[in-house]
Every structure is written in structure tokens, then in C-alpha cells.
Structure 1
Amino acid sequence: MAKEVAVVAIHGMGDTKSNFDEKFKSKLSKILGDDISSKVHFDKVYYQNILQNNEEIVFQNMEKEKIDCKWLRKFILFGFSDATGLERNSEDSGSPYTKAQKAILNTLENCSQELGGFDKPLIFVAHSLGCQLLSNFIWDSQQIPTKKGIWLSMKYSQPEENNFYRLKKMHSLFTIGCNIPVFVSGFPQVDIKAIATQDSGYNFVWYNYYDRDDVLGWPLKPLSPSYNKAVKADYEINATGGFLGFFLKSWNIFSHNNYFTDSDVLKPISTAIRKAITP
């Protein structure tokens, strides 16, 4: 039986396992209950494998030397290598930039199968660097003429198929621990443009969640007038939470990597799912 809505998770920067979304799905399903969760197709975009082998080689070479804080060094090395590597050669069909967009497209193709077509809603939950990847995917699809990325070669004969893959069926976008500002803050304010959310055939609501102690997660509305208009709201949460959060007040890896399982993120996503199923 076809599902009623697809919820797609996109991971962030750093060394990420392919099962990164398991706890997210489990906790969200518990909040939704069996009846609603049975109507949801859960999917993910996994792109870490595009660059991971190269990053592993470099880190293994570095480990031969005397270095401390290896876990943090690995996070930074993988994270910033992802950020720079995935922005490279965006016009090249074989570039990491285009491969990452193909990973998104592959997930959408799977979603269309599970949803039984192209007319049902999508909800995206993008973390960290995944926010930038998804923003690039949508931005490139909205440009006429297309200048880079996967849309240089992708063409669909049926309007409903084209609209689905360009994410015009997106119901809600949740960005968590978003670091888009890192990529665009050097531009003049007039050039810091957000993706279209309420025009050009798009009609989705964008919610952004950040932890004040997470230096890699940012509010988006102050970024520029364009982002102020595109993003419905920035929500400050405590993504570390509980006993650990009481002690860890400055930035730590936990404050950046715990968004997917934080109840302050999961509850509004569950609300959006219910609205998408019963408009």
C-alpha cells in the first residue's frame, strides 16, 4: 500500500555512518504512534561515501604523527573537507557537487515509488552541511537557465514528475544545526539570496532550529532580507539537553550532533507530518 507522505533526513558534516537516521526514525515513529507512522515513508540522503575514502587516507597518515584530541581533529578534518570538497567544480558532471545532488535525486526516485506517484507531499529534515547541499539542489533547480549541478542534464517530460523532483511538492523544510551562513556571509547583503519558498511553483514552510552553544548551527532570518522572508522562524533549543547539557555550556560535538533525536525538533516534525497527511 502506498504511503501518504515521505520524510527525508539528510545528514551533516563529519564522519557519518549510513544508518545515521535510525534513532531519528525510531523516536519520531514513537511520537507519531503506529497509525500515523504506518502512513509515512522514511528515507534518507547519504553522501558521506563520496569523499570518505580520501578523508580516511589523510587521517590515517596524520595518526602516524603525535597528535592529541584525535576525535575532535577527525570531526574537523572530515567536516571541513566535506564542506570544501562538495562545493568543488559544480559545473562538472562528475564532481562531488553533482554526485551529492544525484544522491538527493536517487532518494526522491525511491520516494516516488513508495508514495505511488508524484502528487504526495515531502518533508525534508536537513542537518548541518546537509542544509547547504539541499539549498544548492533547490537553488539550482529554480534558476532559469540552469547554470550548474544536476539540472544541467536532467529533463522530465511529464510536468508532475518534473515538479516532484524539483521539490515543488515539498510541504515542510526543517533545517537543524544549519551552517549555510558559513558559506555566504562573505557576500554583500544584496547577494545573499534564499531559495524560493512561496513562489515559482513552491509552497512550503521553512523552520530552522539551532542550539545557542553550537557554533556550527546558526539562526537564518538575520542573514539577509531574503532569508528573513523565506524562513518562517528560527527556534533556539538545547540540543544537548538533560544532565549532559547542564555541564557542557560551551560548544561541544554533542550540541551539534544531537538535533535528530531532540524532542524540541521531533515534536514539530510530527505536527507537520499530521498536517501533510490531513491538510
Structure 2
Amino acid sequence: MTQVALITVHGMGETLPAYADGLMAQLRSRLGGLAPQVTMRSVYYQGILHENQRQVWERTAAGGKVRYDALRKFVLYGLGDAAGLETRKENPGSVYELAQGEIAGALLSCHAVRPDMPVVFVAQSLGGQVLSSYLYDAQKAAAGWPVGAGIWRDIDAWASGALGRPLTASERVFLGGGTCAGLVTTGCNIPIFVAAHKEMDIIPIAPPTSLFKWINFYDPDDVLGWPLQPLSQGYRTLVEDRAINAGGGIAGLLARSWNPLSHENYWEDSSALDAIAAMLRRLAA
């Protein structure tokens, strides 16, 4: 029996710190007796962005001059998250760097439980881009290439500031995804961030381990959730795309005109839940 780590990364829009509680409960139920072998952690970076977004929304709503409040609020928070993460990301203390620090913190928490345990990430929506950038930067740093932004630009300086001490060799490998055995993305919008580049320049992360498997769930009716294989040969080799109906049954049929709810239901879909549980079960057995 093996201890396994599950780390979730949330997506765009207004998000509460307990966003992954329902997903984790569903997975524990599916895992049964194996559930105690899975260390579950969640990455929460929306707190870095939320207060400024809230103030903008409240000033706008107070004016009473806009319509479609729910959709408008989703767009403000969602696109605001994406823009905030990319704008001036090379600056020290940028949102991009702080979000990567949250991922590193979750990984360090798992490392403290067992330093060599396999890690499975589950990333929703924008979280797929955030996590992919983190792993891509870590792999560049490990290869000795310069990294332009984030904690991997100078991981030693980050550790000194965030932890007050150097990283151990084991921590450095673990933080770089060195034991990552699985990634499940849901409603992923990586294509939005890379579509302006030539196909030859659209390069995914390298498989972190020989066990690594990446499954990408998308709903054909969700304009923010995309298949990844069409991006490039690298993605076709690395990723398995699976189309699902995240809207669910009749409700999904009635919601063919897209709405935010059709983007936020992936973690309630049995196909996605079963796949995540199967991945964890395979690694824990």
C-alpha cells in the first residue's frame, strides 16, 4: 500500500477557500478503504485577487448602470483572474509569483507527510494554465534554462523569503513535480493562452515521471473548456481528451446557450470523478 497526494487547483471566478470539499468527499466515498492513503490538499490563489475585484464590482453595482449582474460578475472575476496572473508577472511579488507560491506550499505540506509519494493534480479551468505554467517553469529551471517570472526564476531566493531556510534536495525535487504521476484538467482553457503562437511553439510540459498520465475533460457546450490535443503534436502525444456532458442530462440540453454554471459543474460529473478515483486507486494499490 502506498501513500498518494491529491492536490486541487481551482479555476476562474469568485472562489471560496473550501471550493474542493465536495470533490474530496466524493473521492473519499469512491475510494472506500483506500481513502486514508490519499493525502488531500487544495491550492487557493483567488484570495490574492479577490479583494480588489470585489471593490471594483461593488463600485460598479452601486452605480446601477449595468445589466446581467451574474454573468457580468463572472466575467469580471474570471477574466480579471487571467489578466491579473499575466500582467507584469515578471515583477517581484507579482500575482503570478504569489500563485506559484500557493502551489509550492501545498506540495511542501504533502512532502512533509511522505517525501517521495506520487502526486496527482486536479485543475479546473484557469487552474490548468496556472499549474501548467508552474510545472513548465520548474522544468526549465531544472534544465538550467533562464525563467522569466515566478518562484522558479530564483527558487533559492523564494525559499529564503517564504520559508526562512534553504530547500532540502528532496524538497526541491518534490516542488518541481518530480513525483507527479497524474494530472486531470477539467474545463481547461490553456488554448486561450497559446492560440496566438505558431504550432511549433506550443510546447507542453514534459512528463514528470514514467507513470505520468494527463486526462483532459471538456464539455463541447462549454466555450471555456477546450480539448488540448489539437494544439500541437506535443499535446497529442501527452494528453488524452475526453468529452463529457458536464451540464448533466435535461438541464444540460436546456442550457445549450452557454452560461457560467455549465463551466463549473465538472467536479460533479461521474465520469470525471470515476477517472480521478481510478487514478488514485492505481497509485495507492
Q: TM-score, normalised by structure 2?
A: 0.91
Counterpart residue number, 1:125: 122
Q: CA separation of 1:31/1:188 partners in 2, compared to 1, >3 Å: closer, same or farther?
A: same
Q: Does 1:142 align with 2:152?
A: no
Deviations 1:9-55 (A, max 9, x none): 1110001111110110111111111x111111111000001111111
Aligned with 1:136: secondary structure? helix
Which of structure 1's runs of 4+ aligned residues deviate more than 4 A? none
Of residues 202-211 and 103-112 in structure 1, the stretch that sits farther from structure 2 once superposed is 202-211
Unaligned runs of 5+ in 2: 157-165
1:203 deviates by 4.7
Counterpart residue number, 2:51: 53
Select 1:259's aligned residue among 263, 266, 269.
Answer: 266
State the AA in 1 paired with 2:266.
Y
Kept in 2: contact 1:91–1:149 (CA 8 A): yes
Q: Does 1:98 align with 2:97?
A: yes
Counterpart residue number, 1:41: 39
Counterpart residue number, 1:151: 152
Kept in 2: contact 1:93–1:150 (CA 8 A): no
Counterpart residue number, 2:256: 249
Separation in 1, partners of 2:54, 2:172: 37
Counterpart residue number, 1:162: 172
Separation in 2, partners of 1:277, 1:54: 41
State the AA in 1 paired with 2:137.
D
Cα RMSD after superposing both structures:
1.7
Counterpart residue number, 2:162: none
Select 2:195's aligned residue among 176, 181, 185.
Answer: 185
Q: TM-score, normalised by structure 1?
A: 0.93
Q: Does 1:238 align with 2:245?
A: yes
1:255 deviates by 1.6
Larger fraction in helix: 2
Counterpart residue number, 1:21: 20
Separation in 2, partners of 1:90, 1:77: 19
The size of the alignment, in residue pairs, is 271
Select 1:275's aligned residue among 278, 282, 285.
Answer: 282
- The alignment-based identity, stated in percent, is 40
Kept in 1: contact 2:108–2:171 (CA 8 A): no
State the AA in 2 paired with 1:120.
M
Kept in 2: contact 1:121–1:169 (CA 8 A): yes
Aligned with 1:275: secondary structure? helix
State the AA in 2 paired with 1:59.
W
